[in-house]
Each structure stands twice: as C-alpha cells, then as structure tokens.
Chains A and B, each alone.
Chain A
Amino acid sequence: MSQTNTLKPEISPEDSPLKIGDIVLHSRLIVGTGKYKSFEETERALEASGTEMVTVALRRVDFGANDHLLNHIDPKKYVILPNTAGCYNADEAIRVARLGREVNNSNLVKLEVLADPDTLLPDPVETLKALQILVKEDFVVMTYTSDDPVMAKRLEEEGSTVVMPAGAPIGSGQGILNENNIRIILERAKVPIIVDAGVGTASDVTRAFELGCEAVLLNTGIAGAKDPICMARAMRYAALAGRAAYLAGRIPKKLYASASSPVKDF
C-alpha cells in the first residue's frame, strides 16, 4: 500500500513554524512513543501523524533485546524529546533529565513530576523544585502541569521554555475538561502553551488549537485507538484544521440570525 504523503507541506501558508529553543517545528503535533503494540506500529503511527518531535522515556537497558526503539526513530526526521515520566519527586526527575541529556546530546527535556501512580496528576511543588534546578543547569525545559493558571504562570516565570497544561488526566481520553482555564493560561502566557495529556480524539486536538494553543502532545489517543495509524492521520488533519481555523479568525457566536443573502426585493 502506498505510503506517499499527500498532505504537504505540514504547515498552513498563514502560519509560521513553532520555535522551541533552537528547534524549529512545522508540525504542531508532538507524539509519544509508548503503548504501541510493536516498534513497527510505532514507526508507522509517527509517520502517519506527520510529527517532527517524539517523546521517549528513560529506563534500565533490557539486556538481550534484539531490537531497540531507536532503530525505528530516524533522527533525521524526528527530534527526540526525553521526558522524566515515572518520576515522583524532584530529585528523581533531575537525575533522569541529566541522564537523558547524556544519551541525547541535547539540553531539551520534558519535565513531568507526578504525585501518585493512580491519578498521574502532576506534583506542583516537586515540579517547581526540579524546574529551578534544571534551568540553572541550562536545560531547555518543557514543563507538564495541571490546568491551574497560577501554576502555569509560575512555571513560565521560573524559566520554563514551554508550559504544558493537561487537558485531562493522562490516558483518560476526555479532551479539554476546562476550556476556561486553558483560555486564561493562554491569555496570560508569554511562552508557547502546549496541551499535553487527556486527548482522546481528533476534535479534542482541533479544539486545543482553536483556543490558541501552539501545539498538542499526545500518546494514548493514538496508540490506544482501534486503528492507531488511521487515528494518527486523523490527528494530523485535526491539528492542521484547528490551527488554520484559529489563524483565520472565526465569526462571533450570535444569539440571533444573520442572513447570508440580501433582503428579497420582489
């Protein structure tokens, strides 16, 4: 079956690329590499999504494994974004960030410090502590947080290059649960706001962009779909549609009708 890419370029003519540190992205989807059935499926889903940046976690080496994730992620096509997934305090997250920097030869890191494994909610206190240290060590930090506007602003003020509020709990597929919070965060932010977590289907992605988000990070929404390759493609279209609609400037919502044709005169 043909794998030709029929949707080029990735970016609308009205748009300009997203800059994160030194990195320039045309696709505004960032995709996780977890929860796929196989490396092959991972590779095909990333391709179908059109993404240019993928997140990876850091774990102990599996001795005797005959394949490796990095055999399936072409570094010429994708920027690798190491994350601190699985860390429950600042010290762990800082350690993982430093180790990730060693493997990746890059200062870019996605910081997430979770409070507990059941809710997977971010721990704001430990996140802030870790961020402060990582900024001092010259990391370019993309920070995962709840949709609390106060926390989002604090993270920006403490040096987070990008702030990433959750739409809903990780893997929950509920979309953006509180649009008002995301809108307040967007109004006050001077750094890119990227919705991260909770995305379930294409309209969730489109909605995030319509609100004004600069990008969306998702993993389960694609990997957990019945057909991940098909969903990856759907997400790609959704991102393009939402971002273009935002840039186009929508009509206002009105209580009363407004005819599209002139008043009949015969």
Chain B
Amino acid sequence: MNITVNGKSLEIEENANILQLLSHLDLHPQRVAVEVNRAIVKRGVYESHTLAKGDEIEILQFVGGGA
C-alpha cells in the first residue's frame, strides 16, 4: 500500500505497523519521533499502531544545531 513518509511516496506491505516501517527504513526506534497524520504516536505503541493506505508520516530525529 502507498503511504507518504517525510513528504515522499513509499510502498509498504498492507497492515504494516510503525515498528516494521522503522525497521524497513533501517531506523532506530529510540532515536526518532513519529507523527502519523500530524499526531504524535508514542514509542510504546509503535508495534500496535497499524498504518493505513494514504497515511502521512513524519519521522524526525535530532541533528546538530545550536542557538
């Protein structure tokens, strides 16, 4: 099914959950924050949150930055 991740289209298996998405993208769950359709999803439910077709996902991380 098609979802959008960080503004780009991505094909992913039906009924994938967030944890599987992160694994697919080679991302560490402890190092990211995830929004699905502009709502933050807590890490504790990454495994139980099933994604739906057309979901818009933002995956954020810490980067270098100062003042």
A256 close to B (CB within 8 Å): no
| Closest residue of B by beta carbon distance from A222 | B66
Determine the chain B residues whose CB is within 8 A of the CB of A99 once the complex forms: 33, 35, 40, 60
Q: Do residues A34 and B43 form an inter-chain contact, with CB atoms below 8 A?
A: no
Q: Do residues A60 and B59 form an inter-chain contact, with CB atoms below 8 A?
A: yes
Determine the chain B residues whose CB is within 8 A of the CB of A35 once the complex forms: 64, 66
| Closest residue of A by beta carbon distance from B25 | A63
A264 close to B (CB within 8 Å): no
How many A-B pairs with Cβ below 8 Å? 106
Residues of A in contact, count (CB < 8 Å): 42
| Closest residue of A by beta carbon distance from B63 | A59
Question: If A59-B61, A61-B60, A103-B61 touch, does A98 touch B40 (CB 8 Å cutoff)?
Answer: yes
Q: Do residues A68 and B66 form an inter-chain contact, with CB atoms below 8 A?
A: no
| Closest residue of A by beta carbon distance from B34 | A102
| Closest residue of A by beta carbon distance from B67 | A197
Contact code string A93-107 (vs B, CB < 8 Å = 1, else 0):
000001110111000
Say how far A222's CB is from chain B's closest CB, in angstroms. Answer: 9
Q: Identify B32's interface contact among A82, A103, A144, CB under 8 A.
A: A103
Contact code string A211-229 (vs B, CB < 8 Å = 1, else 0):
0000001111001000000
Q: Do residues A220 and B67 form an inter-chain contact, with CB atoms below 8 A?
A: yes
Determine the chain B residues whose CB is within 8 A of the CB of A68 once the complex forms: 28, 31, 61
10 contacts between A and B (CB under 8 A): A31-B66, A34-B66, A55-B65, A55-B67, A56-B65, A57-B65, A69-B64, A80-B62, A102-B34, A223-B66
Residues of B within 8 A of A (CB): 6-7, 25-28, 31-35, 40, 42-43, 58-67
Residues of A within 8 A of B (CB): 31-36, 42, 55-63, 68-70, 80, 82-83, 85-86, 98-100, 102-104, 112, 144, 166, 170-171, 196-197, 217-220, 223
Closest 7 pairs between A and B when the two form their complex, measured CB to CB = A32-B66, A219-B66, A57-B65, A102-B33, A56-B62, A33-B64, A99-B33
